[in-house]
Amino acid sequence: MIARILNIAWKELLHLRKDRVLIPFFIIGGIVELTLIAWATNQPIDDIHTTIVDHDQSAQSTALIDALDDTSTLAHETSANNAAAVRSKMHRDETVVGIVIPEGYAEDVEAGAFPTVRLILNGAHSVKAQEARRAIEEVTFEQGMRERFNMEPAEYAEMLPQISVRYNEDLERGWYTLPAESGFIFYLFTVVLAALAITREKEKGTYEQLLVMPYRSVEVIIGKALAPMVVGFALFLAMMGLTVFAFGVPFRGSLPLLMVLAIIYLVAELGKGILMSMLSRTQLQAVLLVFVLAMVDMIFSGYAVAVETMPPFIRFLSNFVAIRHWLLIVRGIMLKDVGLSVLWPHVLAIIAIGTVILTFTATQYRRQAN
């Protein structure tokens, strides 16, 4: 039985080796994708275009503007005469942040009252707007502490919460996205390869020949899954290497554990690929099906959108998507050095999902063979 499975796997590897487009596409595509994401997530959100309306024109208001300008987040680009002018600029998408300092700002500060500064944010750029709001609140808080209570930073620091960030000390976004992206490319690559495995034969007309050979369905399925598994695994190792050595994401956990879990995860996803392959008549159909599937999986994976903020029912459904568990495992091992004692529910979930998919795939194959 093993010799027969290996015979099919060998033939499939030959197909992949002779295909001059498929493998190079995924290797180059994977590297480019990772590099772009590493670069993009490394860009801090800085110099947000800010328009200031200073109705007060006093030393105090100028001090406030300077303090805002001193933050790396905001860049005082233009001034305007009134709030209406700011809104019209936002309408034309010329600015993200508007700050209106009211008349009498200096007097209020002198008198020890609370002067109100108006902040207008362009919510269409939600990430930048959030970032700007945080920076402005920080500046006004510090100003208030100094002007109103005459406190130095060292004094009011005691009032602030003690923050310690674990696992990703600098809250680098790349540390979050790059392992997930590697995991996702790994997923997409192997599922696409598996999906092509049977449709390739259907298109060429060799499928019937294969069906009349004395193979058992399980031998064909495993044999056909083995080749994408080997190639996919090699690609995954390469992506991991790139993530760690080129983009500086730490690898703190156990590499052997991650490898073993990667194989388990792979088997579950390959079943899906082979299933797509059986449901399609042509390779094009199979690839399109995989992409539809990948989009759904992507949403449930927690990679692009946080699963925690989804409605309870969707959150519940996401438990049945293997890639969600897989990405948690990758991040858990890489960044947090956690082992099976923590990850076991996710491992069990992947095994359960994989078993269901593979059983269904094998039944489908047997049904199609008849």
Partner 1 sequence: MAVIETNDLTRKFGDFTAVNAVNLSVTEGEVFGFLGPNGSGKTTTIRMLLTLLKPSSGTATILGQDTRRASKQFLQQIGYMSQKFSLYTDLSVRENLTFFGRSYKLYGKQLKERMQFALDMAGLKGHENTRTSDLSGGWAQRLALGAAIMHRPRLLFLDEPTAGVDPLSRREFWDLLYNLSQEGTTIFVTTHYMDEAEHCQRLAFIYFGNLIAQGSPEAIIEENVPGTVISFEPDDPIDVLRTVEAAMDSGEVPPGRVSLFGAAVHVVTQDVERMLPFLEAQFANAEGNTPAFYYETPSLEDAFIALVKQADADGQSG
The single residue among 112, 161, 205, 312 that binds partner 1, judged by CB under 8 A, is 205
Q: Which stretch binds partner 1 (CB under 8 A): 11-19, 59-67, 144-152, 242-250?
A: 11-19
Is 213 or 296 the residue whose CB approaches partner 1 more closely?
Answer: 213
Is 72 or 209 the residue whose CB approaches partner 1 more closely?
A: 209
**Least CB distance to partner 1 at residue 369 (A):** 7
Return the sign of the alpha-carbon dihedral for residues 47, 126, 83, 144. negative
The rounded distance, in Å, linking the Cα atoms of 329 and 182 is 12
Coil, strand or helix: which one is 104? coil
Looking at residue 308, what DSSP letter applies? G
The one among 21, 127, 154, 212 contacting partner 1 by CB under 8 A:
212
Stretch that binds partner 1, among 43-51, 175-183, 202-210, 306-314 (CB under 8 A): 202-210
Among 91, 118, 134, 204, binds partner 1 (CB under 8 A): 204
Residue found by looking up tokens 């008349």 in the block: 103
Distances (CA, A) of 130 to 64, 95, 173: 20, 14, 16
Taking residues 172 to 201 in sequence order and writing x for each that binds partner 1 by CB under 8 A, - otherwise, the string is ------------------------------
Q: How far is CA 353 from CA 148, 286, 347, in A?
A: 60, 21, 10
CA–CA separation, 3 and 195 (whole Å): 23
Give yes or no for residue 216 binding partner 1 (CB under 8 A). Answer: yes
Among 11, 91, 118, 252, binds partner 1 (CB under 8 A): 11
Nearer to partner 1, 4 or 55 (CB): 4
Q: Using the rule CB under 8 A, is 206 a contact of partner 1?
A: yes
> Nearest approach, Cβ of 4 to partner 1 (angstroms)?
7
CA distance 32 to 40: 12
Contact 196, 281 (CB under 8 A): no
Applying CB under 8 A, what is the total number of residues that bind partner 1? 22
Q: How far apart are the first and last CA of the chain?
A: 22
**Residue 3 binding partner 1, by CB under 8 A:** yes
Sole binder of partner 1 in the list 112, 161, 214, 256 (CB under 8 A): 214
What is the C-alpha to C-alpha distance for residues 252 and 269, in angstroms, rounded to an integer?
A: 26
Please name the amino acid found at residue 184. Answer: F
Per CB under 8 A, does 364 bind partner 1?
no
Binding of partner 1 by 7 (CB under 8 A): yes
What backbone phi and psi angles, to 5 degrees, belong to 96? -110, -35
Please identify, using beta-carbon distances, which residue of 7 and 254 lies nearer to partner 1.
7
Nearer to partner 1, 118 or 366 (CB): 366
Q: Count CB atoms within 10 A of the CB of residue 155.
A: 11
Candidates 164, 309, 341, 370: give the one binding partner 1 (CB under 8 A).
Answer: 370
Q: Is 281 an interacting residue with respect to partner 1 (CB under 8 A)? A: no
Element (H, E) at 77: strand 74-79
| Part in contact with partner 1 (CB under 8 A); list of ranges 12-20, 40-48, 141-149, 277-285 | 12-20
21 near partner 1, rule: CB under 8 A: no
Q: Does 1 bind partner 1 (CB under 8 A)?
A: no
Overall size of the chain counted in residues:
370
Residues contacting 66, CB < 8 A, separation 6+: none
Per-residue buried b or exposed e for 90-105, using 16+ beta carbons within 10 Å of the residue's own CB:
beeeebbbbbbbeeeb
Which residues here bind partner 1, judged by CB under 8 A?
A: 3-4, 7, 10-11, 14-15, 18-19, 204-206, 208-209, 211-216, 369-370
